[in-house]
Amino acid sequence: MRVVVSWLLVILIVFAIGWMANASFARLQQKKERAISLSTFPKLNLLSLDSLGFRLESLPLEPVVLIHFNSGCDHCQYEAAAIKASINKFKGAQLVFFSTEPITVIRQFSEQHGLSEYVNIHLTKINAADVTATLGTLAVPHLFIYGADRKLLKEFRGETKPEAILKYLQ
């Protein structure tokens, strides 16, 4: 009886190790696939504040900073205020804020931070399912910096100072 219990325990341990190894491999594979898909400019289904389609591909051939935000997020509030305070340093770059919130809420965020007055700042809405399918699970704020060649230069998770962003836009 002891031998049977011992063998069952060994089989359970081997099974558990195999299952954990498989799960780890799957996570690594997903991470690798995400890195490959984000290495070039993502195709996102965005809506502008006037509810028209917004195409990233139509932006000038300049560096682009994609900023995932939520209007109720304190770190996102800081991010928007800090970017606006340094806006003159962002000339020659396009900043695209995108959120899953309703357009009315995004518009209020834009007005609150005075972002609409700048031609290189775009506030857009994205469907939550599109975010996950294209970019994966994102925190807020979450930034992606793409060069003029549309290749990913840097990804930032969380609040990021303008100086850190600008370092990649030079």
Q: How far apart are CA 20 and CA 79, in angstroms?
A: 38
Please count the residues of the chain: 170
Indicate whether 50 and 10 sit together in one domain: no
What is the model's pTM? 0.81
User: What was the pLDDT predicted at 5?
Assistant: 74
The residue segments making up the domain with residue 88 are 46-166
Taking residues 44-52, report their average pLDDT: 93
Indicate whether 28 and 104 sit together in one domain: no
> Is pLDDT of 86 > 80?
yes
Total number of domains in the chain = 2
Cβ burial of 143 (10 Å; 0-12, 13-18, 19+) is buried
Q: 90, 169 in Cβ contact below 8 A?
A: yes
Taking residues 124-135, report their average pLDDT: 92
The string of DSSP letters for 8-51 reads HHHHHHHHHHHHHHHHHHHHHHHHHHHHHHHTB-----EEETTS
**CATH number (domain holding residue 77):** 3.40.30.10
Indicate whether 54 and 20 sit together in one domain: no
Indicate whether 55 and 130 sit together in one domain: yes
Indicate whether 58 and 20 sit together in one domain: no
Q: Which of 7-16, 108-117, 136-145, 158-167 has the lowest mean pLDDT?
A: 7-16
User: What was the pLDDT predicted at 4?
Assistant: 76
